[in-house]
Structure 1
Amino acid sequence: MIKTQLYRVPLETPENVEALADILHPLLPLSLTALGCLYAGDINTPNGTGNIDAWITFPVDQLANPPSLFSIFILTGWNDWQLRFFCSTETSTLPPTREEEEHVVGAFNAFAYALQSQDPVVEGCNGKRILNSRDMAGLFVGALHDRWAECLAPGIFMTSPCIRFASRPVFNGDEPAWNTFDGEGDWEFGELRESDLDFVKDRSVFPRSMEFLKQRIPYSVCIRRKGGEGLPIAWEVLYPDGSSGMLHVEPDYRKAGLGRKCVAALSRKMAQRYRSSENKKSKERYPYVRWELSDVVIGNDAGLKLAASRKGWKHSWICHWAHLRIIE
Structure 2
Amino acid sequence: MADGQLIEQLASAVDRIREQLAHVIVGQDAVIDQLLISLFSRGHCMLEGVPGLAKTLLISTLARTLNLSFNRIQFTPDLMPADITGTDIIEENRSTGQREMRFLEGPLFSNIILADEINRTPPKTQAALLEAMQERQVTVGRVRHQLADPFFVLATQNPIEQEGTYPLPEAQQDRFMFKVLVTYPSFDEEFEVVRRTTGTPADMVKPVVSPEEILSLQNMVRLVPVSDHVIKYALSLVRQTRVGESHVPEFAADQLAWGAGPRAVQFLILGAKARALMNRRTNVSVEDVQALAKPVLRHRVVVNFAAESDGVNSDQVIEQLLESTPAREDELANDARFKAIFAS
Return the TM-score normalized by structure 2: 0.28
- Normalising by structure 1, what TM-score? 0.29
Report which of the two has the higher share of helix. 2
Larger Rg: 2
Instruction: Give the strand-richer structure, 1 or 2.
Output: 1
